Amino acid sequence: MPVPLSEAQVAIVGLGLMGGSLAAALSARRACRRIVGIARRPSTLRTALALRIIHQGETDLAAGVREADLVVLATPVRDILARIAEIGPLLKPGCVLLDVGSTKRAICQAMEALPPHVQPIGAHPMCGKETSGLAMAEPDLYQDRVFVLSPLERTAPEALALAEEMVRAVGARPLVLDPARHDALVAAISHLPYLLSIALVLSAERLAEGDALLWALAASGFRDTSRLAATNVEMMLDILITNREPILAALRTAQGELATLAELLAQQDFSALQAKLEAARQRRMEVFP
Give the pLDDT of residue 212.
86
Give the pLDDT of residue 184.
98
Question: Are 125 and 22 part of one and the same domain?
Answer: yes
User: What is the mean predicted confidence (pLDDT) over 125-130?
Assistant: 84
Give the pLDDT of residue 132.
74
Question: Are 93 and 166 part of one and the same domain?
Answer: yes
Question: Are 132 and 20 part of one and the same domain?
Answer: yes
Structural domain boundaries enclosing 197: 182-287
**φ and ψ of 123, to 5 deg:** -150, 155
Question: Are 189 and 168 part of one and the same domain?
Answer: no
Contact 132, 232 (CB under 8 A): yes
Close Cβ partners of 146 (under 8 Å, ≥ 6 residues apart): 125, 126, 172, 173, 175
Question: Are 155 and 41 part of one and the same domain?
Answer: yes
- Confidence tier at 109 by pLDDT (50, 70, 90): very high
pLDDT at 189 over 90: yes
- Confidence tier at 277 by pLDDT (50, 70, 90): very high
Buried b (16+ CB within 10 A) or exposed e, 184-196: bebbeebbbebbb
Strand pairing of 96-99 and 70-73? parallel
Close Cβ partners of 1 (under 8 Å, ≥ 6 residues apart): 94, 158
Question: Are 34 and 72 part of one and the same domain?
Answer: yes
Of 177, 193, 212, the domain-final residue: 177
d(CA 25, CA 129): 16
Close Cβ partners of 47 (under 8 Å, ≥ 6 residues apart): 134
How high does pLDDT run on average in the chain?
96
Question: Are 156 and 224 part of one and the same domain?
Answer: no
d(CA 250, CA 9): 40
Question: Are 118 and 220 part of one and the same domain?
Answer: no
Question: Are 187 and 85 part of one and the same domain?
Answer: no
- Confidence tier at 249 by pLDDT (50, 70, 90): very high
Look up the CATH number of the domain holding residue 275: 1.10.3660.10
Contact 24, 47 (CB under 8 A): no
Question: Are 29 and 169 part of one and the same domain?
Answer: yes
Contact 238, 132 (CB under 8 A): no
Q: Number of structural domains, the chain? A: 2
Question: Are 197 and 81 part of one and the same domain?
Answer: no
